[in-house]
Amino acid sequence: MKFTEEQHAFRDSIRRMVERHVAPIAAEIDETDRFPRELVELFGEMGLMQLWVPERYGGPDGNLTMMCIAREEISRVSPACGSIAGLNTMFIMPLLHFGSEEQRQRFLPVVAKGGVVTAIAISEPQAGSDVSAMTTRAVRDGDSYVINGRKQWCSYGVEADYIVLMARTSAHSGAEGISAFVIEPKKMQGVTFGRHERKMGWRGAPNTPIFLDNVRVPLGNLIGEEGKGFKASMRALDLNRPTIGAQSVGLAQGALDAAVAYARERKQFKRSIAEFQGVQFMLADMVMQIEAARALVYECARAGDEGDWERLNVLASMAKCFASDMAMRVTTDAVQVFGGYGYTKDYPVERMMRDAKLAQIFEGTNQIQRVVIARHLLA
């Protein structure tokens, strides 16, 4: 990927910020599972959380390439912190593509100011990959909807000021009966949260069940038309999946950098282990896989920036799937290069390996991504 001069400057500014503000707290966040609220404020000041907000609503008018650059650079140190950059994408996109101008004027300038946390709630205990199994219901009652149900795996929902929530508005069993709503969990009665999930990795990025008990949502908070919520969420996911690929590339690059540095320093048989061909071959395979994934991610970003939605749909699945599988292999090999020390928490590669696993699961499992790719190929 050949970056412009502006994109190079943007990347360099992110890299300096990461070294100063993210690297010193990455291990502590993993250890304590603390949500780094200070990064919300910092990223908001830098325009990273609200990158997608158009200039006419007070935002930086960023694009998919910039989002991928930001997430890749931060994820070299911590993908959990990297996900805070562009965190509001999944809230912004449904409003931009399916919301009314009144809704955009109402919500986007608030997000554009920075410091606002948003989330999207799609999955349920029995509705993950099978979105059509969703049971959360929204029933029209005068000039509002009353929502009842439960959501699972809502990243940052417990911290959010606004959540785009999917709920069924008709008895139709398919995705066509799903609608999208903006809820305000800190203001609306009937919204409660369960315990924080105790995750293997990606700690510091809270996942908490949401319980909805007769939550009354104004009619004006329905995004688009009834039954169009699934389509709105799919567009948002198509634009977000490449950034998961970028995070995976950054995470793998961070693991490779650590492995190369360690291989040069570690001595066995009176030589650095970097001099042994077995280790050299591992490092060579790691860098080849990273470069291949990086090229795919930024080709996907280019398609998104050009508005090539048909191509973006399949490339998003490819980029997310290939890059996250790559990150799992590379971080596992990085632990191997470190040997016994790689299995300890004194070094970052064991954390990186744990973090890599989640990228193969969320935003659509890699098995589902392969289904999407195969359907496109065979259509």
* Residues labelled catalytic: 363
Number of helices (H) and strands (E), helices first, in the chain?
12, 10
- Helix then strand then coil, in percent of the chain rounded to 5, is 60, 15, 30
The rounded distance, in Å, linking the Cα atoms of 124 and 151 is: 5
Residue carrying the six token digits 């590669």: 349
Residues 6 or more apart whose CB falls under 8 angstroms from that of 152 comprise: 123, 124, 125, 128, 209
Phi first, then psi: give them for residue 256, nearest 5 degrees: -65, -45
- Euclidean distance between CA atoms 289 and 331, whole angstroms: 12
3-state secondary structure of 176: helix
138 CB-near residues (< 8 Å, 6+ apart): 145, 146, 147, 167, 168, 169, 179, 181, 217
DSSP 234-246: HHHHHHHHHHHHH
Residues in the chain: 379
Check if the beta carbon of residue 191 is closer than 8 Å to that of residue 229: no
Cα–Cα distance list, 169 to 82, 135, 148, 352 (Å): 35, 10, 11, 41
Quote the CA–CA distance of 134 and 167 in Å, as a whole number.
7
Q: Which residues, other chains included, contact 233 with Cβ-Cβ below 8 Å and sequence gap of 6+?
A: 94, 120, 122, 131, 164, 166, 180
What is the rounded CA–CA span in Å between residue 100 and residue 166?
17
What is the spatial distance between Cα 214 and Cα 360, in angstroms, rounded to a whole number? 35
CB 23 within 8 A of CB 77: yes
